[in-house]
Amino acid sequence: MSPSMIPPDEDGVGRADRPLTVVVDGVEVPGVHGQTLASVLLCDDRSHWRIAPTGGARGVFCGIGICFDCVATVNGIPDIRLCRRPARDGDTVTLQSRAPQEDRTAGLSLVQAPGTSEAEA
């Protein structure tokens, strides 16, 4: 079973959850005020949300901002550690990936660009 919140009525600290909604890659995901974005994603049955350079999946590992496994883009800012980021209603999360790139020269390199006869002179 994936991570989940302790049900409020079973929680000894006396909870009074106030819901919020964030958007993850275009999909609305529910959360609770006070949660970090990492918690929100974990509780949304996502144990991972990033691919490491050699293909491994990454979610939360250290939980306190040391390991940088949990980074994602939040409201357009990249490389935000979700475990240190309080969720706010309306936050937009875009997932990042360092999966092995199909094409590392996506921009036209002048070395390969057509019509560069001057350069090759």
Partner 1 sequence: MTLDTAGTSSARGTDVLIIGGGVIGCAIADRLALTGASVRLCEAGDAASGTTAHGEGNVLVSDKGPGPELALAQFSRRLWPEVLARLAERLPEEVAVVEWEPKGGIVVATTEAGAQALADFARGQRAAGVRCESLDADRLATAEPALTREVAASVYYPDDAQVQPIGAAGALLAAAAGAGAVVETRCAVIEPLVSAGRLIGVRTTRGPRYADIVINAAGPWSGPVSDLLGAPIAVKPRRGDVLITAPLPPTVFHKVYDADYVGAVGSSDAALQSSAVVESTRGGPLLLGSSRRQCGFDDRIRPDSLAAIARKALRLYPVLADVAVMRAYGGFRPYVDDHLPVIGPDPRLPGLWHATGHEGAGIGLSVGTAQLVASALAGETDEVDITAFAVDRPAVIGARSNQPTTAKASR
Partner 2 sequence: MSGSGPEAAAERNHAGPPLMPHRHRMNRHVVVIGGGPAGTAAAEAALRHGATVTLIDSNEALGGQYNRRIPAAYGVRRPLDIGHGYRAAARRARGLVEHPRCEYLPWAAVYQIERHLDGGCPAVRLLVGVEGDQRTHRVVQGDALIVATGAYDRVCPFPGWDLPGVYTAGAAQTLAKTQRVLIGRSVLLSGTGPFLLPVAQSLAAGGARVIAVLEANPRGEILRHWAARPWQLRHSAGKAKELFEYAGCLARYRIPLRTSAAVVAVAGEGRVQEATVARLDENWTPIPGSHTTVVVDAVAVSHGFTPQHELAVAAGAALTAQGFVRVDENQRTTAESVWAAGEITGIGGAQVAAVEGAVAGIAAAGGDPAADRALRARHRTAEQFVARLAAAHPIHPGVLTWSQADTVVCRCEGTTRGDLTAAWARTAGESYRSTKLATRAGLGPCQGRICAANIDALRAQAAAHPGPASTDDRRGASDYTPMGLAAASAAWRPLAAPIRLRELADLDSEGQS
- What's 109's DSSP letter? P
Q: How far is the CB of 23 from partner 1 (least distance, A)?
A: 19
| Of residues 13 and 106, the one with the C-beta less far from partner 2 | 13
For partner 2, which stretch binds (CB under 8 A), given 22-30, 54-62, 105-113?
Answer: 54-62
Q: What are phi and psi of 51, to 5 degrees?
A: -110, 130
Q: Which does 27 bind (CB under 5 to 8 A by kind): partner 1, partner 2, none?
A: none
The answer to whether residue 30 forms part of the interface with partner 2 (CB under 8 A) is: no
Task: Provide the 8-state DSSP code for 66.
Answer: S
Distance, CA of 2 to CA of 48 (rounded, Å): 11
